[in-house]
Amino acid sequence: MVGGRQQAVYAIVRTGGKQYRVEQGDTIHVDRLAAALGEKVTLGDVLMVGGDETRLGQPAVPKASVIAEVVAQGRDRKIRVFKYKKRKHFRRTRGHRQSFTVLRIEAIQV
């Protein structure tokens, strides 16, 4: 307890090679997951659970998971990749749009 009140339970999860700090009710953008809109997704790679009692994983916390609902699927804005070599008449332009999934965190299970 901090200052007489309980701390909110949070977790650090890994998905798509990135780590996210999440609490219940948060909305996060992650790399695309193969799931339909409204589907429940379980993120099992929980690296840490914090709150009143902090639990660290080695590398993951055993039996911990985060339940999330798929809110949206989409694609980010386009970025341009331009390669150039001076005096060689070499130019290449490519574009890329990253696909993403929006998740709403519903529960953190320890």
1-10, 15-24, 83-92 — most confident range: 83-92
pTM: 0.78
Alpha carbons 27 and 42: distance in angstroms, whole number:
15
pLDDT tens figures, 7-26: 778 999 999 899 999 999 99
Q: Where are the domains of the chain?
A: 10-109
Residue 52: pLDDT band (50, 70, 90) is confident
- Average pLDDT over every residue of 67-78: 95
DSSP 8-state class, residue 5: B
